[in-house]
Amino acid sequence: MNKVDYLRISLVDRCNFRCQYCMPRVVEWDYINKQELLTNTEILTLLTHVFIPLGFSKFRLTGGEPLLRPGVVKLVQQIASLPQTQDLAMTTNGALLPEMAQNLYNAGLRRINISLDSLQAETFAQIIGRNGTIWWEKTWTGIKAAHKVGFNPLKLNVVIIPGLNDGEVLDLAALTRSRNWHVRFIEFMPIGNDDLFNGRGWIPSEELRQTIRHKWGLEASQVTGNGPADVFQIPGAQGTLGFISQMSECFCSRCNRIRLSADGWLRPCLLNETGQMDLKTPLRRGVNLATIRKQVQKLLEIKPEINFQERDPGTNGGIYSRTMSQIGG
């Protein structure tokens, strides 16, 4: 089991997209009230007094859409300036990056993942639930802005949904050939999207690799990351191809992360609700931070026993009680 030293921090559950795999349209949406979100001060308190003393040094800011969070640039600067921060990254849909990329970089952010599930505006619209042409152009402009500013590595996250964007695997992979961009293909997961998932299912990463291998060849890459991706490279390409295969190739034994939701719930596994813990309530009640730290330490000790294959999907009639955007991805 890897050392758990990577915390994903959700800043907000709101998003300007409504992607099928993240915010299913069949769900009656009820956003977290502003006063229930962890404040910047509370996030920094938990980092400095709970997580960093337990050995955490890698942090990723997520959402919803994290760039919708008021004061996000200041928070980036505060986390980046902590002496124990070895790595700070963000996952975003990119639509607000044209205006914010430079400020985020100046604040100390260096690594960024941008969701790009299609190169076709019409397909993009189907996936994100918004006007495809306008928002695809915003996302693509955001990707170019992040590249120009100097984010490195610049990663593009692609969730492959059968029947929607599986025909674009080669086009998306080709983005790495002449650019130092890193495309990550992510297997479609059953979280809060049961109707869509059961209807379409998912495509194993090995099938995607075979498609790419048949076209150009594929070799193991010397570039590795902090996460679970198996990284490959098209021969001669500047960038890399990563495959996150949580459905077909369980990687629980090498998971190094836990997740903090925007309203303060700590979750040891994305696909299993066992062991999740409320940190906001004791924090606001003034419980001693050393006591909270000990509770988190106990959760870390049982994390190896909490995995996807033996998952508890929650108490809501066998359905996960939170969708991807509410967890933080």
User: Per-domain residue ranges for the chain?
Assistant: 6-327
Say if residue 313 is preceded by a cis peptide, omega within 30 of 0: no
- Give the CATH class of 6-327: alpha beta
Angle at 3 between CA 37 and CA 73, to 5 degrees: 35
Q: What is the mean pLDDT of residues 54-61?
A: 98
Residue 222: pLDDT band with limits 50, 70, 90:
confident
Per-residue pLDDT at 1: 55
Per-residue pLDDT at 28: 60
Are 75 and 22 in contact by the 8 Å Cβ rule? The answer is no
Give percent of the chain above pLDDT 90: 64
Per-residue pLDDT at 317: 38
pLDDT score of 132 more than 90: no
Residue 254: pLDDT band with limits 50, 70, 90:
confident
Per-residue pLDDT at 246: 79
pLDDT score of 321 more than 50: yes
Q: What is the pTM of this model?
A: 0.91
Per-residue pLDDT at 191: 63
CA atoms of 223 and 241, how far apart (whole Å): 10
Say if residue 64 is preceded by a cis peptide, omega within 30 of 0: yes
Are 161 and 21 in contact by the 8 Å Cβ rule? The answer is yes
Q: Which residue has the higher pLDDT, 30 or 99?
A: 99
Reduce the DSSP state of residue 272 to 3 states and report it.
strand
pLDDT tens readout for residues 258-317 = 999 999 999 988 767 777 899 999 999 999 999 999 999 999 998 877 665 554 444 443
Whole-number average pLDDT of the chain = 87
Per-residue pLDDT at 273: 72
Amino acid at 287: V
Instruction: Record the tokens describing residue 1, joined without a space.
Output: 């089991």
Q: What is the mean pLDDT of residues 125-153?
A: 92
pLDDT score of 26 more than 80: no
Are 114 and 146 in contact by the 8 Å Cβ rule? The answer is yes
Are 95 and 116 in contact by the 8 Å Cβ rule? The answer is no
Nearest to 227 by CA among 110, 87, 114: 87
Q: What is the mean pLDDT of residues 180-199?
A: 73
pLDDT score of 94 more than 90: yes
Angular region, 94: left φ>0, alpha ψ -120 to 50, beta rest: left
* Lowest-confidence region among 24-38, 58-72, 76-90, 175-189: 24-38
- Sheet with strand 230-233: strands edge to edge: 219-220, 230-233, 240-244, 181-187, 154-160, 111-115, 87-92, 58-62, 6-10, 257-260, 265-267, 277-278
